[in-house]
Amino acid sequence: MMVTSVSNKKGLPEGLWTKCKKCEQIIFQKDFEENFMVCPKCGYYLRLNSKERIEYLTDKGSFKEINADLKPVDVIGFPGYKVKKDSYKTKDAIRTGEAKMGGYPVAIGVMDFEYMGGSMGSVVGEKIVRLIEKAIEKKMPVILVSASGGARMQEGIISLMQMAKTSAALAKLSKKRLPFISVLTDPTTGGVAASFAMLGDVIIAEPNALIGFAGPRVIEQTIRQQLPKGFQLSEFLLKHGMVDMVVERKNLKDTIIKIIKFFVFKAK
């Protein structure tokens, strides 16, 4: 159900309608949720927080969060960081845990763009490494869903160290012949794109997601050339071999389950 305007009549319940950020169509909130938070008119993908994403991907009631109490520390005394990091409802930019997908046990981590643009600091890196170690211990596949602006500048060199740290942990996972499925959502950029996000055995991207290290504007200013249309979007990366598939959100869970089945079958 879609309308072009919303009544201001008193007594109208809040949260009943939502507006697409791209086409500005007013949509019944329930319809929006049933369509996996994708605009039914223009196909715009609304960003999901980690809790919403986990609910969509995992078997109902199967997710058990781990390392939920880890909180970032203002290691280098960056001005304003202590106040900013404590102002969010969540404790950091990723939620990790054990769950089931199609009955298969998995280790899953989902980044939260709502927390400081999904930036990767010491806690994000540590939670990813602990998740991978848990997967190795229990012989589970790892699924990481990225949504990030990159490394967290407020933690300086500490945040950059997480690129090597997470990559090294994934190398250990690979040696154990356990699969890593990387899901790239809008946006996946900076130090996250330059480390674990692009190291998946299978790399899946949502449609029209911005994926890359530096943004298009920065690149154009650096090379002083106009970039191709759609540069750094999922479909462009698929065409040039940087991702394995572009999958609509409604099909994402089933696609991941099929990949898990393939790896489990090959492992036997």
Residues 27 and 55 in one domain: no
Q: How many domains does the chain have?
A: 2
Q: Is the dihedral of CA 115, 49, 43, 181 positive or negative?
A: positive
User: Cα–Cα distance between 197 and 143 in angstroms, integer?
Assistant: 10
In angstroms, rounded to a whole number, what is the distance separating the alpha carbons of residues 169 and 130?
Answer: 9
Residue 124 sits in the same domain as residue 26: no
What span, in angstroms and rounded, lies between the C-alpha atoms of 158 and 120? 10
Are residues 103 and 206 part of one domain? yes
Q: Determine the pLDDT at residue 21.
A: 86
Same-domain pairing of 206 and 181: yes
Same domain (yes/no): 19, 52: no
pTM, rounded to two decimals = 0.91
* Phi and psi angles of residue 137, each rounded to the nearest 5 degrees, phi first: -60, -40
Same domain, 32 and 140: no
Query: Exposed, middle or buried: residue 267 (CB in 10 Å: 0-12, 13-18, 19+)?
Result: exposed
Tens-place pLDDT, residues 17-62: 888 888 988 888 888 888 999 998 888 899 999 999 999 999 999 9
pLDDT of 2 = 45
Q: Can you spell out the DSSP letters for 163-222?
A: HHHHHHHHHHHHHTT--EEEEEEEEEEHHHHTTGGG--SEEEE-TT-BEESS-HHHHHHH
Q: Are residues 230 and 262 in the same domain?
A: yes
Please, are residues 182 and 234 in contact by the beta-carbon 8 Å criterion?
A: no
Q: Name the pairing type of β-strands 26-28 and 2-3.
A: antiparallel
Rounded mean pLDDT of the chain?
92
Distance CA 239, CA 245 (A): 10
134 with 239, same domain? yes
Q: List the alpha helices (DSSP H) in 12-155.
A: 29-34, 50-57, 81-85, 122-138
- Whether 14 and 53 map to the same domain: the answer is no
The CATH number of whichever domain residue 110 belongs to comes to 3.90.226.10
148 and 111 Cβ atoms separated by less than 8 Å = yes
Tens digit of pLDDT at every position of the chain (268 positions): 444 444 444 554 567 888 888 898 888 888 888 899 999 888 889 999 999 999 999 999 999 999 999 999 999 999 999 999 999 999 999 999 999 999 999 999 999 999 999 999 999 999 999 999 999 999 999 999 999 999 999 999 999 999 999 999 999 999 999 999 999 999 999 999 999 999 999 999 999 999 999 888 889 899 999 989 889 999 999 999 999 999 999 999 999 999 999 997 665 5
Model pLDDT for residues 252-267, shown as the tens digit of each residue:
999 999 999 999 766 5
Same domain, 95 and 106: yes
Q: How far apart are CA 138 and CA 133, in angstroms?
A: 9
Return the axis-axis angle of helices 122-138 and 156-175, rounded to nearest 10°: 10
For residue range 167-178, list pLDDT tens digits in order: 999 999 999 999
- Residue 187 CA, chain-centre distance (Å), reads 8
Domain shared by 42 and 52, yes or no: no
Same domain, 141 and 225: yes
Give the domain range for residue 175. Answer: 47-267
**Alpha-carbon distance values, 160 to 109, 145, 150 (Å):** 19, 19, 9
